[in-house]
């Protein structure tokens, strides 16, 4: 009787080990799938970050170019009009001048 019991016990142990092994394999496969998905998401995030970085670099280069242009223009203005001198202001008026509304004159004024 004891040998029969030992045989049944051995069969059950083998059955449980097989079930356990199948469960482990299933979990390992699920882990592989999860890690592959995670790797894809990390790769995609890296691509998005690289695109954003390139876009930002292009914007910064464009802004730097504009600043350089403005600096050059300012230097040109400063060389024409030295410090301490007022730059002229030009005004154009198409309206009446000193109450002379019926003349319809055009006045060009240069203010120094």
pLDDT digits (tens, 9 = 90+) for 70-84: 888 877 776 666 566
Residue 103 placed within a domain: no
Residue 108 placed within a domain: no
* Averaged pLDDT for residues 54-75: 89
**For 78-108, what is each residue's pLDDT tens digit?**
666 656 666 555 555 555 545 555 444 444 4
- What are phi and psi for residue 70, nearest 5 degrees? -65, -40
Q: Is 57 exposed, middle or buried (0-12, 13-18, 19+ CB in 10 A)?
A: exposed
Q: Is the pLDDT of residue 24 over 70?
A: yes
Provide the β-strand partners of residue 111: 89
86 touches 112 (CB < 8 A) = yes
Domain of 6? 2-83
Residue 93 placed within a domain: no
Residue 64 placed within a domain: yes
How many Å apart are CA 74 and CA 68, to the nearest integer?
A: 10
């Amino acid at each position: 009787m004891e040998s029969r019991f030992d045989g049944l016990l051995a069969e059950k142990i083998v059955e449980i080990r097989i079930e356990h092994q199948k469960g482990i394999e299933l979990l390992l496969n699920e882990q592989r799938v999860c890690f592959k998905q995670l790797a894809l998401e990390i790769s995609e995030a890296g691509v998005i970050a690289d695109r954003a970085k390139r876009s930002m670099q292009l914007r910064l280069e464009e802004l730097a170019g504009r600043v350089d242009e403005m600096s050059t223009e300012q230097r040109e203005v400063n060389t024409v009009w030295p410090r301490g001198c007022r730059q002229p202001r030009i005004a154009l008026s198409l309206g009446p001048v000193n109450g002379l509304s019926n003349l319809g004159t055009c006045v060009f004024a240069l203010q120094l």
